[in-house]
Structures are given as structure tokens and as C-alpha cells.
Homo-oligomer: A and B are copies of this chain.
Amino acid sequence: MKIAIDAMGGDNAPESVIKGVNLAKQEFPDLEFQLFGDVAAIKNYLDDEKNVEIIATSEVIDFHDDPVTAIKSKKDSSLVQALTAVKKGEADAILSAGSTGALLTGGLLLVKRMKQVSRPALMSTLPTSDGKGFDMLDLGANTENTAQHLVDFAILGSYYAQNVRGIEKPRVALLSNGAEESKGSPMVKEAHELLSGRTDIDFIGNIESRDILAGAADVVVADGFTGNAVLKAIEGTMSTMFKMISSTIKSGSLTTKIGGALVKPALYSLKDIASSGGGAAFVGLKAPVVKAHGNSTEIEIATALRQIHKMLETDVTGKLVTHFEEMS
């Protein structure tokens, strides 16, 4: 199992990326790595070169670059070179903490989609109050979808939850504005009907975004525009609540301040739960393509590499290709 690493992508690159690789090397002696980027900078943080190949690249794609232009013009960037290694079959998967847009564009152009999946999707494992988490897709790879796309998302998500997260029979739900099957946009109603007829997934019906964090489903399917809006609403609410709690404590009575100081470690443990799900997987492509947060720590990089290890070990991508081929 060989993973191509965009060593230069992300706010703390290459330091956190390489330190995360060091951690993953200890945990998984069966993993090999191709590190793309500035050789001297990479060597500066790398513990040892066992199972590692370093490939020099001269360019970096950053968050300000237009994704399509960057992928087409920065041919010697760490991202394009890493994607190309996967395309050529020299690596089995890729991890980047750089620009999401560039990874989505490059993934589609170079790694390419599974033949039967017309619209790959971005998927993350989000936290639930019971600690088990759920997978949600599409989180924004698409801005407009059809009912058939949502069916593909349901299959992709179900296979991922089963193989990577070890859930025997993942409960797949469709995001709507009410739990009843009569609820939803015309597209969601059509998707509901299509999903109800399937025997290859455990479709449990509609779900409201109010209930997703409570663990009511293992996989939540939405069109990319809505999924993106819901994900960012969750992130924004968490961040705003942490800030408000902080400022309420600061401006409160002495009692509140003391209480706040005592309870702070517990609040921070909640933040950890929220970031423990690994990176966002761009599913529906011919190989695992995973995006870690731009400001990932070395621990988060290692978590994303554990996720990729599991994707490769279970061959979830190969199983999906077979499944879609049998469907068509």
C-alpha cells in the first residue's frame, strides 16, 4: 500500500504533514509513502527514510489559486505530481491538506471518476453525541444534483461506513425538511422513491438536519449545495458557541469565572471529538483521495492516514467498482 502525499499543501506544511507521516510510519509498517515537495524541508522533519520515497517538486498550489487554472498550469506542483502518481498506478491513494477546490478538480481530471458514478462527492465523518459519528455526503463537490446522483451517494456512503467504519448494516438516510416521505423538494421526493426500491442498502427514510448529530443515521445523503450549507452551519454554530461560552465566562461573576476555568478542559475535549473523524474523502473516484483540514495538526494528518490505510486494506474502492458494474 503506497500513499502519495502532497507534502506542501496546508497552513502548517510541510511540518505537520511530515510529522503526521512519522506517526503513521510507526503505526503501520505495511505503508509506503511518496512525499512530493521541497526535499530539504521534507528531510528536516522526517524521522527516517524507511518505506519513504521523496520526489522533488518546484511549485505549490495555494488557497488563492483558481483550482482549474492551477491544476492545468502548475504541472510541477506537489499536488499535481502526487495526483499523477496515483493516475499512473505508482501510488494507491493520495492525501492533501491543501486547497479543496484544487484537489477536487485534480482528482476528477487525473485520478478520474468510476465509470458508473457521474458525480463523485465529498464525504466526512461528523461527530454525534453518542460518539459513533455519521458519514455525510455530498458536502460540496457539486452545486447541483439529480435524484440519481443521490442514489449513487447513498451507495458510496454505505460501502464506506461498512468497510472503513466497520458498521455491519449502515442506516442510510436522506436529508429533507421533514421525516415523512411526503416531505422534500421534487428532487428529494424522487430520490426517496428510488432509494426505497433498493435492496443493496438499508434506506431508513428522510432525516432532518436537526437530528443528524444525535446519531439517527450512519450515512446522511444530500445534494452538494445543501450538504455544504449544513456542514458549515454545524461548524459555525460550534465555533460561535465556544466563543460565546468563553466570553460569557470572562464577563461573568467571579463564581462563573472560577467555574469556567474548572470546566474548560471538558469543553476542549468536545472540540477533539469534533475533529477525530479523519479527513474528507472524495468518493466515487478510482482511488482514495482524501483532504485533511488546511490547519491540520500532525495528529490529524496521522488520523487521515489511518483512514486511508483502512480504505486500502478493505479495498472499498474495488468493491464499489464491482458493485456499480453489477448494477449496470
Q: Indicate whether A193 reaches chain B with its CB closer than 8 angstroms.
A: no
Stretch from A50-58, A79-87, A106-114, A264-272 that touches the partner? A264-272
Please give me the residue from chain B that is nearest to A187 by CB atom: B144
Measured CB to CB, the closest approach of chain B to A54, in angstroms, equals 34
Measured CB to CB, the closest approach of chain B to A244, in angstroms, equals 5
Contact with B along A110-137 (1 / 0, CB 8 A): 0000000000000000001100000000
Q: Indicate whether A212 reaches chain B with its CB closer than 8 angstroms.
A: yes
Please give me the residue from chain B that is nearest to A250 by CB atom: B266
Complex CA gap A188/B233 in Å reads: 18
A12-36, CB < 8 A from B = none
Q: Decide: A177 and B233 in contact? CB cutoff 8 A.
A: no
A126-152, CB < 8 A from B = 128-129, 140, 143-144
Q: Indicate whether A167 reaches chain B with its CB closer than 8 angstroms.
A: no
Range class of the A interface residue count = 35 or more
Complex CA gap A70/B196 in Å reads: 29
Stretch from A38-46, A235-243, A294-302, A320-328 that touches the partner? A235-243
Specify which chain B residues have a CB less than 8 angstroms from the CB of A239 in the assembled complex: 210
Measured CB to CB, the closest approach of chain B to A96, in angstroms, equals 19
Find A225's partner among B177, B234, B252 (CB 8 Å cutoff). B177
Please give me the residue from chain B that is nearest to A254 by CB atom: B262
Q: Indicate whether A213 reaches chain B with its CB closer than 8 angstroms.
A: yes
Measured CB to CB, the closest approach of chain B to A20, in angstroms, equals 25
Specify which chain B residues have a CB less than 8 angstroms from the CB of A235 in the assembled complex: 210
Complex CA gap A294/B256 in Å reads: 32
Complex CA gap A213/B129 in Å reads: 22
Complex CA gap A129/B240 in Å reads: 6
Q: Decide: B243 and A263 in contact? CB cutoff 8 A.
A: no
Q: Decide: A249 and B263 in contact? CB cutoff 8 A.
A: yes
Please give me the residue from chain B that is nearest to A269 by CB atom: B248
Measured CB to CB, the closest approach of chain B to A136, in angstroms, equals 11
Q: Indicate whether A260 reaches chain B with its CB closer than 8 angstroms.
A: yes
Q: Indicate whether A232 reaches chain B with its CB closer than 8 angstroms.
A: yes
Specify which chain B residues have a CB less than 8 angstroms from the CB of A144 in the assembled complex: 185-186
What are 14 A-to-B residue pairs whose CB atoms are below 8 Å? A128-B240, A140-B177, A143-B188, A177-B229, A208-B236, A209-B232, A210-B236, A210-B239, A229-B230, A248-B267, A256-B265, A259-B259, A260-B262, A260-B266
Please list the 10 inter-chain residue pairs (A to B) with the smallest Cβ-Cβ separation, ordered nearest first: A259-B262, A259-B263, A210-B232, A210-B236, A237-B237, A233-B233, A209-B233, A213-B240, A248-B266, A209-B232
